[in-house]
Amino acid sequence: MAQPAPAAAITHRLVPSPAGRIHVVEQGSGPLVLLVHGFPESWYSWRRQLPVLAAAGYRAVALDVRGYGRSSKPTDVAAYRMLELVEDNVAVVHALGERTAVIVGHDWGATIAANSALVRPEVFRAVGLLSVPYAPRGGPRPGEVFARMGGEEEFYVSYFQEPGRAEAEIEPDVRGWLAGFYAALSGGTMPPAGAPDPHFVSRGGRLRDRFPAGRLPAWLDGDDLDVYAAEFERTGLTGALNRYRNMDRDWEDLAGFDGAPVTQPSLFVGGALDASTTWMADAIAAYPATLPGLMSSHVLDGCGHWIQQERPDVVNEILTGWLAALPA
């Protein structure tokens, strides 16, 4: 009796990019699918997608965004602006010997993926967005918008934008902070309705003051948490947080794309309990104009923010079905 083919091995490599180097983790062969993580994560966030995409006939590649993991960490805050991250993604595609790729992102990675498709459509032929909807550049300067949110409280984005401030909260206890942050935004462990919102900080307080204590979400065991914590204990959080510190620069850099749609074939998957989905409901409603190539859109009941880790089987089924339906 014929034996099943062995699973494709996972390989790690460093490839050149404008950042210096980007760490990529690769499994499988076939059309290239580039997977871009969000905050505060790493390539490891795609550990449950890599083997499934490889088995479905794709070259699945998850990267560490600049500032994370084994990728380069420039010291200049402005080095983390969106256009720099787009060019890192282009460099990865070319370093892997490919001309085009499908790009899929989660959280900040979704925004990076959408802008990669917007700015470099000749490289990124389709785009999948997880958790964070696409919203075109427009409106007032983002820093001004975030500063007005929350009333007497401070929105977490504004909190993250001040250099060194969030680092002082997180870095003395990286593992504990990450555990609380992941739990605060996960279906099943997030604070109940009516409790203080963990996306906001009391004046003079800390973000972690509103995290649920002593509970890990079902998708995260102690070993997984150790992987994330070890990376950030080694690298610190500044590179990751510098993404938030460039939102006004992005608004300036992308002025030429004001209101522009992403026209490639696209996919959106969100969690019904995720603030990114509920707060940005208008962005989702605008998809006929902003994502005219949208092939399917899904909002998963009972799911929080960490969607491909909370619901790996459902997300994998959606991803492989969408990829199979893409034009050749």
Beta bridge partners of 294: 266
> Are the C-beta atoms of 40 and 108 separated by less than 8 Å?
no
The catalytic residues are: 107, 305
Q: Which of 53, 244, 95, 57 is nearest to 165 (CA)?
A: 244
Pair of tokens at residue 312 = 């790996």
H or E, element range at 307 = helix 307-310
Q: How large is the angle between the packed helices 82-95 and 108-119, nearest 10 degrees? A: 70
Tokens 């204590």 locate to 213
**Cα–Cα distance measured from residue 56 to residue 78, given in angstroms and rounded to the nearest whole number:** 39
List of residues 6+ apart from 281 with CB closer than 8 A: none
Q: Which of 90, 116, 133 is nearest to 250 (CA)?
A: 116
Beta bridge partners of 26: 11, 61
If phi > 0 it is left, if psi is from -120 to 50 it is alpha, else beta; for residue 236 that is left
> Are the C-beta atoms of 98 and 29 separated by less than 8 Å?
no
**Cα–Cα distance measured from residue 173 to residue 255, given in angstroms and rounded to the nearest whole number:** 39
Beta bridge partners of 266: 127, 294
CA R_g for the chain = 19
> Are the C-beta atoms of 71 and 231 separated by less than 8 Å?
no
Pair of tokens at residue 238 = 């500044």
DSSP secondary structure string for all residues of 31-49: SEEEEE--TT--GGGGTTT
